[in-house]
Structure 1
Amino acid sequence: MTIAQLDPADSVAMGRWYDLRVAASQQDLPDFPAPSRQEHAARFEYPWPALTEEAMLAWDGDRVVGAASYLMPQTENLSTAYLELVVHPQYRRRGIGTGLLEEVYAAARRHHRSLVEIETVRALPGGVARDEAGYRYLTNRGYQPGMTSIRSRCQIAGSEGDEAPDGYSLVQWRDAVPDEIIEDVAALQTRLLLDAPSGDLTVEQEVYDAARVRAQEATELGRGHRAYSTAARHDATGQIVARTKVAFEGSEATHGRQRITIVEPAHRGQGLGLIVKSANHAYARANEPALRVIDAWNAEDNTHMRAVNAQLGFQPVDSWSVFQLPTNPS
């Protein structure tokens, strides 16, 4: 087994890496759609704003049996690298993951990163089974998660969405935020990152402006994403005070992913979060008639948003634990 840095221009290596991701997803998350081939192929051509990505592949002959890709922020969180590490189900417990992690530590140090952040999945009590090898690997070495999120799933029915309360109106759009409200949307995005629970993780707030929102949209479109958003406008001021978004990756049609949901603090307590999410489910279903389920991830201690989701019919599926590992492990 050899580990080599990925050349993104190597289409064969990119294809073998994609095959690995599909095999691992089918084993680890069988209720998920397969990773988007379009998303995978475009990941280096359309990078996320203010992030650079590198990857290493573990080869057994001409087969990719493990991969480690890591994103490095260039604006905030300059001490962190965000890692996705995958080993083929048939090659696990052979030291491949450990070898890749050691290479990532070395690369992170070269880039002056002191932390590597990685997420692992676990089963919930009484829930569907999950391969918890990643979680056990880290906890057996003394690491503890800095935050845990619960993934919940909603079966989408054909019901109508809620209407805005008195004094508010709903605004809906696909993909790109309308120019006339982009400043408000950027402010809400920044607010989300200020308010969102981060547990014991070391996290710096990301600041969004119109240019950063547009750059993120360009990446999403380049990678083949589709997104549906609903916002609440405060009629007296014209300000956008709540927003939610559901996204689809590549050719996915039956499966949506819940993204941002945020309400401006001065307008909380009126059910706007529930209203915009309900309306957005109906909006997405009207434009994506094959839609059947939406998955949402919420911090375990974000009891308010989890309660909102429960009202919409979301049921817990599994848990996702985030670890921050020092790049000079003792």
Structure 2
Amino acid sequence: MEITKLSADDEVGCAEAVAVDSAGWKLDLPEMVQHTPRSFANMLRYGWDLVPPRAYLAREDGIPVGLLTVDVPKYDNTNQTWIDVKVHPDHRGRGIGSELVGYGENLTRELGRNVVGFGGLDLPKAEAFAQRHGFEQKAVEVNRRQDLSGLDWGIVQRLYDEAVAASSAYELVKLTGSLPDDMLDGMVAVTESINDAPKDDLDIDDDVYSPERLRAYEEAQAKSDRTLYRVVARKKDTGELAGHTVIAVERERPHIGEQHDTAVSRDHRGHRLGALLKSSMLLWLREEEPALTQVDTWNAESNNHMIGINEQLNYKIVSRFLIYQKTV
């Protein structure tokens, strides 16, 4: 078996990688939003915030059989990598996945890092695979999807109206694309509020944000051909930024959206700002993105507060992922 690093400019290689990835999802979880060759190449160019992952394609006799992606954090948790392994269903059970895991672990050591993270569907075969390779379960994440075509907009409007009444000291600012310069520093503090979300037993430090990292995120999303919609809550009397929610809409597939962040700063909680932000965003997107039919979000299974809001807004569970780590 030959394992080669993929380049974003390798159109054939990216298409082969997506074929392997998609074949696995179609068998294990057909509802999962899958990459296109274009979105996969953009991931390799830009990543989430200009820290792209590395991808390696495994071939046997020239036939693509497996895919390894390795995220190498830059801004925080620099002792870690996060790997993802896919094996084409036609070639499973022959040790290909194990070889790719070993490849990822060796790369982690070569980078001077000592912790590897790994996520897998909550399926017996996936759990057995993780345990066989010495990974310890540390958390559970749940992917939920909002069906906008079946959304009761009366519920959304009522949630919005009730939240407005409870948050009269705040105003909303709607933004598309990049933040204005005068909001950048304040948004760093708001974004850091995501660190209050449950980490369960994960061996991870808090995410570290800066104006430069927020700009890198905006640039990566724009270059990946996604439109960012952001609603920000701001205190009327002081101008202090209190919370925000962000949804990215694909331009290649404008029916698909992804919830990137919802956070309320600790000093401003208790005013129903989370419900206000999310309901306001939906009402805005109904006008701005008429083709949008679904929005995916990810939460720790233990994040009861955010899950409670999402369930009011017609989010349904798509998948449950077990998150593992090991020391190498």
* Global fold match (TM > 0.5): yes
Trace 1:207-226 onto structure 2 (pairs within 5 A): 207-226=208-227
Trace 1:1-330 onto structure 2 (pairs within 5 A): 1-49=1-49, 51=51, 53-122=53-122, 132-140=124-132, 143-156=135-148, 157=151, 159=153, 161=157, 162-163=160-161, 164=164, 165-192=167-194, 194-327=195-328
> Does the Cα contact within 8 Å between 1:171 and 1:230 map onto a contact in 2?
yes
Counterpart CA distance in 2 for 1:72 and 1:142 is 20
Return 5+ residue gaps in structure 2 as ranges. Answer: none
Counterpart CA distance in 1 for 2:275 and 2:2 is 50
Q: Judging changes above 3 Å, is the alpha-carbon distance between structure 1 residues 106 and 141 closer, same or farther for their aligned structure 2 residues?
A: closer
Shift of 1:7: 4.5
**Residues 179-199 of structure 1: CA deviation (Å, up to 9, x unaligned):** 33222212111221x212111
Aligned residue pairs total 318
The structure whose residues are more often helix, as a share, is 2
Shift of 1:322: 1.0
**Residues 14-33 of structure 1: CA deviation (Å, up to 9, x unaligned):** 22112222222323331233
**Residues 25-47 of structure 1: CA deviation (Å, up to 9, x unaligned):** 32333123331332212233324
Q: Judging changes above 3 Å, is the alpha-carbon distance between structure 1 residues 211 and 5 closer, same or farther for their aligned structure 2 residues?
A: closer
> Does the Cα contact within 8 Å between 2:8 and 2:42 map onto a contact in 1?
no
Counterpart CA distance in 2 for 1:248 and 1:84 is 24
Shift of 1:8: 4.6
Q: Judging changes above 3 Å, is the alpha-carbon distance between structure 1 residues 7 and 172 closer, same or farther for their aligned structure 2 residues?
A: closer
Counterpart CA distance in 2 for 1:224 and 1:291 is 15
Between 9-18 and 291-300, report the one with greater CA deviation.
9-18
Counterpart CA distance in 2 for 1:238 and 1:310 is 31
Paired letter, 2:252? S
* Amino-acid identity (%): 27
**Residues 246-293 of structure 1: CA deviation (Å, up to 9, x unaligned):** 123352222322121111112111111011001111212222112222
**Residues 284-318 of structure 1: CA deviation (Å, up to 9, x unaligned):** 22221122222221111111111111222223332
Q: TM-score with structure 2 length normalisation?
A: 0.89
Q: Judging changes above 3 Å, is the alpha-carbon distance between structure 1 residues 249 and 20 closer, same or farther for their aligned structure 2 residues?
A: farther
SS of corresponding position for 1:73 = coil
RMSD across aligned positions (CA) = 2.1
Counterpart CA distance in 1 for 2:52 and 2:250 is 20
> Does the Cα contact within 8 Å between 1:36 and 1:251 map onto a contact in 2?
no
Paired letter, 2:60? D
Shift of 1:12: 2.4
> Does the Cα contact within 8 Å between 2:136 and 2:324 map onto a contact in 1?
yes
> Does the Cα contact within 8 Å between 1:72 and 1:78 map onto a contact in 2?
yes
Between 6-15 and 76-85, report the one with greater CA deviation.
6-15
Counterpart CA distance in 1 for 2:132 and 2:279 is 42
Paired letter, 1:107? L
Q: Judging changes above 3 Å, is the alpha-carbon distance between structure 1 residues 248 and 167 closer, same or farther for their aligned structure 2 residues?
A: same
Shift of 1:90: 1.5
> Does the Cα contact within 8 Å between 2:189 and 2:265 map onto a contact in 1?
no
Q: Judging changes above 3 Å, is the alpha-carbon distance between structure 1 residues 27 and 49 closer, same or farther for their aligned structure 2 residues?
A: same
Counterpart CA distance in 2 for 1:138 and 1:32 is 21
Counterpart CA distance in 1 for 2:9 and 2:38 is 15
Match of 1:125 in 2: none
Q: Judging changes above 3 Å, is the alpha-carbon distance between structure 1 residues 189 and 36 closer, same or farther for their aligned structure 2 residues?
A: farther
> Does the Cα contact within 8 Å between 2:143 and 2:317 map onto a contact in 1?
yes
> Does the Cα contact within 8 Å between 1:233 and 1:239 map onto a contact in 2?
yes
Counterpart CA distance in 2 for 1:50 and 1:155 is 30
Paired letter, 1:62? G
**Residues 56-112 of structure 1: CA deviation (Å, up to 9, x unaligned):** 211022221101010112232111011121111221122110011111111111111
> Does the Cα contact within 8 Å between 1:146 and 1:201 map onto a contact in 2?
yes
Counterpart CA distance in 2 for 1:189 and 1:169 is 18
Paired letter, 1:311? Q
